[in-house]
Amino acid sequence: MLELAEAVMRLKENFRKQKLTEVIPLSKSYGRIAAFDIPSPINVPNFSKSAMDGYALFAEDTMAAKQEKPIKLSVIASVYAGDDTTSISAVRNTCVRITTGAKIPPGYNAVIKQENTTNDDNRQITIFTEVIPGENYIKEGEDLVAGELIIQADTIIDSENIGTLAAVGITKLNVLKKYVWG
């Protein structure tokens, strides 16, 4: 006959060793336990994008801009969320009209808020303040880098986990099987 404490200890040891798993839809995973570590399959965001409406440009082109001595840049294109930017070539002393969340054309390193500019004729803007590299610029992978751990094994899945997994495109999840007593 085992003492109660010894029996409980043995039960816990055997229970911890159980790792029967099943794959379930993400939509049914709330409250379940992740069977394995889950890394992000992608960068989030998966492209560099604008944090606000304004103009993508080279920050270095704005270094002399002041309210009393503004500078002018040529507008060479407009980019909206979802637009492809591969055909846009970044050139010094130019800018691209850009909306919040839109992909920043390769080469440009900052976004100036539209409030800090005036648009002369849709072909040229006047800038009244300097910006620094990376300003109003959300870098690819800023939230998650591909391969970065999202969830550790043995984590209870909650609504925040489900949102993150959905955001990176995971639709099925390997979880521990529910233990049925009896």
CATH code where residue 26 lies: 3.90.105.10
- The answer on 54 and 132 residing in a single domain is yes
- The answer on 60 and 89 residing in a single domain is yes
Q: 122-157 burial, b if ≥16 CB within 10 A, otherwise e?
A: eeebebbebbeeebbbbebbeebeeeeebbeeeeeb
pLDDT at residue 73 tops 70: yes
- The answer on 107 and 89 residing in a single domain is yes
- pLDDT computed for residue 17 by the predictor: 56
Domain assignment present for residue 12? The answer is no
Among 3-7, 89-93, 152-156, which is the least confidently predicted range? 3-7
pLDDT at residue 26 tops 90: yes
Number of domains in the chain: 2
- The answer on 132 and 58 residing in a single domain is yes
How wide is the angle at C-alpha 91 spanned by C-alphas 86 and 97, nearest 5°?
A: 65
* Residue with the two structure tokens 């100036």: 112
Domain assignment present for residue 9? The answer is no
- pLDDT computed for residue 124 by the predictor: 94
pLDDT at residue 151 tops 70: yes
Domain assignment present for residue 77? The answer is yes
- The answer on 77 and 22 residing in a single domain is no
- The answer on 58 and 33 residing in a single domain is no
- The answer on 163 and 87 residing in a single domain is no
Domain assignment present for residue 1? The answer is no
pLDDT at residue 123 tops 60: yes
- For residues 32 and 90, the answer to whether their CB atoms sit within 8 Å is no
Domain assignment present for residue 114? The answer is yes
How wide is the angle at C-alpha 160 spanned by C-alphas 159 and 162, nearest 5°?
A: 65
- Check residues 17 and 94 and name the one with the higher pLDDT: 94
Mean pLDDT of the chain: 92
- pLDDT computed for residue 16 by the predictor: 57
Task: Domain of residue 158: give its range.
Answer: 18-44+142-176
